Amino acid sequence: MRLILLGPPGAGKGTQATRLVEKHGIVQLSTGDMLRAAVKAGTDVGLKAKAVMESGGLVSDDIVIGVVSDRIDEKDCQKGFILDGFPRTVPQAEALTKMLASKSLKLDAVIELIVDVDALVARMENRVAETIAAGGTPRADDNPESFRKRLGEYQEKTAPLSGYYASTGELKTVDGMKSIDEVTAAIGAILGA
């Protein structure tokens, strides 16, 4: 099972990914984690990424695709994977499609969690209040200004993926405003589980 979960920050992608990993025995692949692992392992792609990262630059799409390609060849990805934080742009999605095709693979689904942005801000504020009440420290980016900036970046760069995957017939949508269990059930229905 090869999946992408789409949705703005705070939509619940991480929660649903964790449940899918547990239920289906697949791997959640974070682009950031994969880049750090490739650098640490000293792979060809990792060395290229290291040079870019050390100079303070953004890692190119080609390097990221190389890291993803190497990672999905590993044994623990044989049952499938969920891509986390990738693709972020339509060119990355196009490159991913080509890379998967070169391995005779394809995505089983691209699932977008549809949410109300104002409700997401309220969710974030509640999460911060609950964290503080429990004696914890909220994430540095858990404030309305940072959150709205992240949402704006998502709308500009990543939201166009919906149209791309709709055009390929892979996009399925779920009402992300429902309860966590209802969202899980809707995703399960899409996946035929």
Catalytic residues: 13, 88, 127, 139, 150
Running DSSP on this structure, what letter comes out for residue 159?
A: T
For helices 61-72 and 90-102, angle between their N-to-C axes, nearest 10 degrees = 40
Alpha helices in 1-116 (DSSP H): 13-24, 31-41, 44-54, 61-72, 90-102
Residues 6+ apart with CB under 8 A from 157: 88, 89
For residue 4, give the amino acid letter. I
What is the H or E stretch that residue 172 is in? Answer: strand 171-175
Running DSSP on this structure, what letter comes out for residue 51?
A: H
Q: Which tokens is 122 given?
A: 């309220």
Residues 6+ apart with CB under 8 A from 141: 147, 150
